[in-house]
Amino acid sequence: MLDSPGHRNHKLPHFAESFLLMGTVVTIRVVGTAKGPARKSIGRSIAAMTEVERQCSRFDEASALRHLCRHPGELVPVPPALFHALRIACEMGALTGGVFDPTVGRPLEQMGFNRHYLTQEAVESAGAGSPHASYRDITLFEDTLSVRLQQPLMLDLGGVAKGLAVDLGAQALQDFEGFAIDAGGDVYVHGLDPSGELWDVGIEHPKRPDSPIRRLRVSDMAVCTSGSYKRRSPLNPGLHHLWNPITQTSAQGLLSCTVAAPLAVLADASATAAFLSGPQQAMDFIEKLGLAGFAVTEDWRTLETASMRRYMR
């Protein structure tokens, strides 16, 4: 979440627009430009994010991800965003010993995370998915941008696709003095904010969405937060969308975990993986990746890496 700019002294011209995308409200704020060029670039940025979503969505029957899942055992050429999202997800799977796993689509469906956020249409993938599937069943062929799923499974690129979309949306805005993309939990900021300073990025309080629990001053940085408080299972309120396939339940111990990293996909995937790793290991995990982390535990303790402190105000 980005700090609302209402109370700060604005020296630079700036312009913001909001959109519904990826199940959330995406706000793009551009600094140091007239409205005309800003709108055009924001349009290109949104087009890029939309395309990543179109390729990687579990909820859209026409997505390349769903097409791939309908053809297990076959060598399927896929568009580049899906290929690279899967490669990052599989790498994260290996790094966490399978705690992070992009093949958790089936358990998520069974928990009731099966409706498209705009149409509310249910995902129909009946029968798709072996209960023993894991990221190891995804074979990637880089030369041909092809993928083979070794057994029937349902992919879910939560923790990767949104971050990747934000990074590609950011590419369309590089010419501006400053910009911020706020995609509900995934933030990327560049250059200066409208007051000519570093951007003020709040980390949402798990219980009070209107007052951040920490505020960071950053630039050219992604800040992504994974939280269990965001999406609870409509069928079982004790469960949430961050599923640990090793323990066969949703991850316990943390309310939210935040990572600051140079790329949103890196921050998003690392925050999700650290959340799944639990309070004992989350900060070590983030530190080993060379990134900065912050987390709130279920018993309301806060954890942080030493590297995160220098961003805090």
Partner 1 sequence: MPSPSGVRLMGLCTIAVGAIYAAGYLYTEPSAQANAIAAFSPPAGAAPHHAATSAKSASPTPGPTAKPSPHPGPLYKDGVHTGFASNPYGTLSVAVTVIRGKIATVKITSYNMHYPQSVIDPQLPQEAVAKQTWRIYIVSGATASTYNFAEAVYNALQKARA
Residues forming the site for partner 1 (CB under 8 A) = 4-6, 16-21, 25, 27, 40, 43-44, 46-48, 50-52, 54-55, 62-64, 67, 76-81, 84-85, 87-88, 91-92, 95, 118-119, 145, 164, 167-168, 171-172, 209, 262-263, 265-266, 269-270, 288-291
Nearer to partner 1, 6 or 131 (CB): 6
Nearer to partner 1, 88 or 154 (CB): 88
Nearer to partner 1, 6 or 127 (CB): 6
Question: Among 149, 17, 21, 35, which Cα is nearest to 89's?
Answer: 149
Amino acid (one-letter) located at 265: V
Question: What is d(CA 74, CA 299) in angstroms, rounded to the nearest whole number?
Answer: 47
Smallest distance from the beta carbon of 139 to partner 1, in angstroms?
A: 16
Whole-number Cα distances in Å, 192 to 28, 46, 124, 163: 14, 21, 45, 21
Nearer to partner 1, 107 or 176 (CB): 176
Smallest distance from the beta carbon of 248 to partner 1, in angstroms?
A: 26
Nearer to partner 1, 220 or 249 (CB): 220
Q: Which residues have C-beta within 8 Å of that of residue 224, sequence separation ≥ 6?
A: 163, 185, 186, 187, 258, 259, 261, 264, 267, 268, 270, 271
Mutual orientation of helices 264-277 and 161-171 as an angle, nearest 10°? 160
Smallest distance from the beta carbon of 131 to partner 1, in angstroms?
A: 27
Nearer to partner 1, 29 or 106 (CB): 29
Question: What is d(CA 135, CA 79) in angstroms, rounded to the nearest whole number?
Answer: 19
Smallest distance from the beta carbon of 67 to partner 1, in angstroms?
A: 5
Smallest distance from the beta carbon of 170 to partner 1, in angstroms?
A: 9
Question: What is d(CA 119, CA 215) in angstroms, rounded to the nearest whole number?
Answer: 35
Smallest distance from the beta carbon of 299 to partner 1, in angstroms?
A: 23
Strands (E), 173-283: 178-183, 186-191, 199-203, 214-218, 221-227, 243-244, 249-250, 254-261
